[in-house]
Amino acid sequence: MPAYGSTAVSDAVVSAGAIPVFADIDPMTYCLDVDAVDAVRTERTAAVVVVRRFGHQADMPGMHALGQRHALLVLEEGEPDATYDEAPRRRAHAAYLTARLNGVHTPVGGDGHSYQQYVVRVPGNGRPDRDAFARVLRAKGVDCRVPVKTPLHRTPTYWRDVELPETERAADETLALPVDAWLTRRELQRIVSACNALGGLLQPAF
């Protein structure tokens, strides 16, 4: 299961009498990576719990193929879907932002993306720059938030001595920008202007 997310799924796994084992994520979708799951699989592994993240779909054909090869139960935990009326508008707002943002790394879309959240990556030197970026955006009236502050394998309850580089990088760099159906064009323009003005000031460390 992914460590990038809330405790809801891992708590349910523990309540069922099982032990959560965390695997790394795909950096594009923020969902479990099939190869990463295979790498942590053991003969004691009974199931794979896949969680949709931010409206992205995981590689379910790949997960089911892995499950069939190793007799694993594959479960998928979804996210609350946007209402029928909201989904097209969210996609339209996401398309507007993606076409105009150049100060951040925009999400990869696709036919199955519902844009429950519009999650970007802030360039620079990780968490300090992302957090500073978020503070300035909020001061400019942009209601942004950090989607996952601490990966589960780095929390006291679910601490694991494992390396999940893509999970940790995502926790350090990601920021959710508003993409609500009720946003006006003027509000979207304000998001673009604020992000583009700040993004050019941040450069990755080499």
pLDDT digits (tens, 9 = 90+) for 64-87: 999 999 999 999 987 665 566 788
The class of domain 8-199 in CATH terms is: alpha beta
Of the candidates 7, 10, 38, the residue with the CA atom closest to the CA atom of residue 24: 38
| CA separation for the pair 111, 90 (Å, rounded) | 13
127-139 helix and 165-173 helix, angle to the nearest 10 degrees = 30
Low-confidence ranges of the chain (pLDDT < 70): 79-84, 110-112, 199-206
Enter the pTM of the model.
Answer: 0.89
Write down the domain spans for the chain: 8-199
User: Which helix or strand (DSSP H or E) is residue 119 part of?
Assistant: strand 118-121
